[in-house]
Chain A
Amino acid sequence: MNSATVSGGIEYVVASYVITWVVLGVMLVRIVGSVRRARAEYDQARTGGFRT
């Protein structure tokens, strides 16, 4: 019988950290982008949409 302590499994740990970091990183970039876009949209709408 084996020792009952998990010896390997590092790949699962690495995968879960990679997934977490990628998801949170993508989230960060998308959210910052969506705020910028919305603010630009607002500024444009307020000034009639023709000011550069």
Chain B
Amino acid sequence: MSPVNTNAFDPPKAGPWVAIGWLSFAFFVFTQVFAVMTSPADAMMGHLQKMMYVHVPAAWVTFLAFGIVLVASLYFLMKEDERADLLAASAAEVGSLFCGLTLVLGMLWGRPTWNVWWSWDARLTSTLVLFLIFVGYLALRSFVEDPQRRGQWSAAVGILGAINVPIVWMSVRWWRTLHQIQSNPRGLSPEYLRGLLLNVAAFTLLCIWFIQRRYVAARYERAAEHASQAAALGGNDE
């Protein structure tokens, strides 16, 4: 046990996060219903175009969450502030979930349009590798008990994993893939673009809220550990 910084031992501050959570969810429900209801069938894909409003935002927030892992991990390695490690872990957890969701939704979209559930092209393969690295990250955390070592190891893996995000993003341009390249706003009918942007905003809010709540839970857990250790050592130090 060699805590370098005791900031993480204090309980987190309360904030307007409960209200933000409800608002985010209400907004999400609205954007989903709105996008589906205002989308005409696509000239090529018919109703399958509507997969866009879940698959694309899920992929976007995956990148966002792993970006947060990168920044928090670098900050932890520089400042040794345990709070940054807890934030990185929270973002990795939420990011992994969205990454898994992106993969599943992509398979469901691929089957009726591409004619296959899966193919080993660079986009799909690199996304799966991204997912596996962060599953490994979470497994690593659950096995290392010393907070400092856990922080350092997982920061290293987190940075390594996040380096894959630009690879996944660029994979459709760097290599020949089955997956099409990113759509640009001019390639989308305005009624699709509107619904897509609204859903990206809603997923972003939800993702940030999920990460913040996981972070608060982690802070409480650390504060509780510290408090019970202090009590066990005799005398509450507050």
CA A41 to CA B41, docked complex, whole Å: 51
Contact residues of A between 1 and 52, Cβ < 8 Å to B: 4-10, 12-13, 15-17, 19-21, 23-24, 27-28, 31-32, 34-35, 37-39, 41-42, 44-46, 48-49
Pairwise interchain contact B220-A42, C-beta atoms closer than 8 A: yes
Count of chain B residues with a beta carbon within 8 Å of a chain A beta carbon: 45
Pairwise interchain contact B48-A46, C-beta atoms closer than 8 A: no
The answer to whether residues A34 and B217 also contact, given A13-B51, A15-B108, A28-B25 and a CB cut-off of 8 A, is yes
Contact residues of B between 121 and 170, Cβ < 8 Å to A: none
Closest to A33 in B: B217
Pairwise interchain contact B109-A45, C-beta atoms closer than 8 A: no
Chain A residues lying within 8 Å of B11, measured Cβ to Cβ, are 39, 42
Closest to B101 in A: A23
Q: Residues 196-215 of chain B: 1 if any A CB is under 8 Å from the residue's CB, otherwise 0?
A: 00000000001000100110
Pairwise interchain contact B220-A19, C-beta atoms closer than 8 A: no
Quick one: which of B111, B219, B224 has the most chain A CB within 10 A?
Answer: B224
Chain B residues lying within 8 Å of A27, measured Cβ to Cβ, are 97, 210
Return the contact of B48 from the options A12, A24, A38, A44 (Cβ within 8 A): A12
- A-B contacts, 11 of them at CB < 8 A, read A6-B44, A6-B45, A10-B47, A13-B50, A19-B101, A38-B217, A38-B221, A38-B224, A41-B221, A42-B224, A49-B228
